Amino acid sequence: MSKASNQSAASSGKAALDQPSNFIRNIIDADNASGKYGGRVETRFPPEPNGYLHIGHAKSICLNFGLARDYGGVCHMRFDDTNPTREEQEYVDSILDAVKWMGFNWGPHLSYASNYFGKLYEFAEYMIEQGHAYVDSLSADEMREFRGTLTEAGKNSLYRDRPIAESLDLFRRMKNGEFSNGAHVLRAKIDMASPNINLRDPVMYRIRHAEHHRTGNQWCIYPSYDWTHGANDALENITHSICTLEFEDHRPLYDWFNQRLADGGKLRRPLPQQIEFARLNLTYVVLSKRKLIQLVEEGHVDGWDDPRMPTLVGARRRGYVPEGFRLFAERIGVSKADSWIDYSILEDCMREDLNERCERRIAVLNPLKLIIDNYPDGQSEDCDAPNHPQKPELGKRAMPFSKELWIERDDFMETPVKGFFRLSPGNEVRLRYGYLIKCVGVEKDASGEVKAVHCTYDPETKSGTPGAEVTRKVKGNIHWVSAAHACQAEVRLYDRLFSVQHPGSGERDYVLDINANSKQIITPYLEPALKEAKPEQRFQFERHGYFVADRVESKPGQPIFNRTVTLRDSWGKDGKP
């Protein structure tokens, strides 16, 4: 293995002590204490390049790369590309991008299962020679029938005891392309009566005359996942091979293959150990690749990177940040028990990070005109607004102020209800970073709807002017933009893609659970400083939430903003918005 760690933030094993413990760390600590791997920690992240990574993968990425980082080890980025017909370079590229975006770095440790096809073939011949594998010539239907069930033992194939030399000859001819798909398979010779179905002579190779995205037409036999994965791990000197719980019953097979190869000197000891953890299940989200493909293909969303998709490209466009995902992974931890994580935990992690990093800006999403009767026509002045309330080092910006402003329609009530302290006739409020104003009248249209609010301002009360701020207390503090100076831009108010916690639970079609209000497009008034927002620049729009300039469709001087998340969880306990 390479001595150099591939983590920029790598540190000694001590750093691991700073992280909350979990059962995987306990195993690694015990291995380090016993010297099993000489203190080495090598993990891998092994996606199949047949789709885009999603939020569940983020958990696995944080876990595998995070352990390597914390223990001063290495995490290998390995594509599990054993299935020639489903894999594409487009997916490889997007997966590498997503892992980099998450903040991890595999250094020189990038590999593909297909790099090992030659080795695996050589190992397979060895297994046949040792009597551990045989070529079976049953049809697929017969194989299924002979396999038995959970309660019934399987039956040996008629070909199970064919001579080693015959299996070897057939296997070579399989490789040489002499047979059509399905004519033969190579199987491990284990135990057709095993209570664990995975051990009932599992398939090691299938004939598939198909072009592979990396090896082209070099092979017409392809190794199975089980035969490939453990050997790949051992060849890369992986110490802890971490996967999700559905592979628990495959672990005896993982060990069976590797032990036999190691006995024959094909693999070095100590062998890697497989450790299973519970996959991430998130409320309000579907993570199955099949369903994600359906959402895209049937046009329920605007593509793989639609900001409502749980893909990492979608989350990125939405404005989610890698730091938020890492915080989330830490907070939910890893366990052996399947459970559901509430979506609001992920949103809270994003808010926590965004609150720290985002500069504040003003946006009036649902505008109502406000006219200051005693402010001179044609005049304007600057008001200083801090870029971050807790971070004076981020400085201030000038917000132009003038006679006509836009305020939020919600911040005015002609007949205020009890407890409403914002603007209403006769009431005084503060214009954030500006003056105190008092409402003196309203203008209505023919239907009686309020078209504009008239106020007077007190010139002695400008925010930031020494002595002016404390003249008298008002309860309301509302935001505004100057009508003459505001810019308009498209803002996309995204919300959860599904309106129920468990989309498609029971027999229900999950498509019926799509939230009809998950995307709303508006063109609000923004403070002028937002006009020059760069793609992927993030802001808190005060009192509204976190927004990001869309990284795909924004143009210079013409940003489009996506709502990442509101300031507070607006979904009630009953799971309704």
| Binding stretches for ligand ATP (CB under 6 A) | 46-48, 56-57, 59-60, 243-244, 279-280, 287-289
* Other Cβ atoms closer than 10 A to 419: 6
State how beta strands 480-482 and 477-478 pair.
unpaired
For residue 48, indicate whether it is catalytic: yes
Token reading at 281:
């299940």
Please state, as a whole number, how many other Cβ atoms lie within 10 Å of the Cβ of residue 115.
17
Tokens 């070099």 belong to residue: 218
Q: How far is the CB of 244 from ligand ATP (least distance, A)?
A: 4
Burial label for 33, CB within 10 Å (0-12, 13-18, 19+), is exposed
- The CB density around residue 341, as the number of other CB atoms within 10 Å, is 17
Q: How far is the CB of 312 from ligand ATP (least distance, A)?
A: 12
CB nearer ligand ATP, residue 70 or residue 81: 81
Q: Which is nearer to ligand ATP, 175 or 213 (CB)?
A: 213
Q: Distance (Å, rounded) from C-alpha 89 to C-alpha 50?
A: 9
Q: Residue 43 is inside which H or E element, if any?
A: strand 42-45
Closest separation between CB of residue 239 and ligand ATP, Å? Answer: 16
289 is catalytic: yes
Query: Which listed residue (266, 289, 438, 543) is catalytic?
Result: 289
The CB-of-465 to ligand ATP minimum distance in angstroms stands at 55
Asked if residues 201 and 217 have their Cβ atoms less than 8 Å apart, the reply is no
Q: Provide long-range contacts, Cβ within 8 A and 24+ apart, for 530-537.
A: 530/361, 530/363, 530/487, 530/489, 530/559, 530/561, 531/487, 531/489, 531/557, 531/559, 532/557, 532/559, 533/559, 533/561, 534/559, 535/559
- d(C-alpha 128, C-alpha 164), whole Å: 6
The residue (of 287 and 511) whose beta carbon lies closer to ligand ATP is 287
Cis peptide before 367 (omega within 30 of 0): no
The minimum distance between CB 467 and ligand ATP, in angstroms, equals 58
Smallest distance, ligand ATP to C-beta of residue 76, A: 12
Is the CB of 340 or the CB of 421 nearer to ligand ATP? 340
**DSSP string computed for 253-298:** HHHHHHHHHHHTTSSPSSPPEEEEEPPPEETT----HHHHHHHHHT
Query: Which residue sits closest to ligand ATP, CB atoms considered?
Result: 56
Residues facing 408 on adjacent strands = 367
**Nearer Cβ to ligand ATP, position 119 or 289?**
289
C-beta closer to ligand ATP: residue 283 or 424: 283
Give the active site residue among 48, 142, 359, 404. 48
Q: Which of 162, 214, 279, 432 is the catalytic position?
A: 279
Residues belonging to the chain: 577
- Angle at CA of residue 542, ends 401 and 303, nearest 5°: 120
Q: Return the SS3 of 400.
A: strand
Q: Is 438 a catalytic residue?
A: no
In angstroms, what is the minimal distance from the CB of 41 to ligand ATP?
17
H/E/C letters for each residue in 306-318? CCCCCEHHHHHHH
Number of alpha carbons in the 13 Å side-chain half-sphere of residue 48: 14
- Residue 48 or 191 with smaller CB distance to ligand ATP: 48
DSSP helix/strand/coil, 555: strand
Query: Minimum distance from CB of 59 to ligand ATP (Å)?
Result: 4
> Which of residues 279 and 543 has its CB atom nearest to ligand ATP in the complex?
279
Q: Which is nearer to ligand ATP, 48 or 97 (CB)?
A: 48
Residue whose pair of structure tokens reads 């790369």 in the numeric block: 65
Kindly state the smallest distance separating residue 60's Cβ from ligand ATP, in Å: 4
Q: Report, as residue numbers or ranges, the catalytic residues.
A: 48, 279, 289
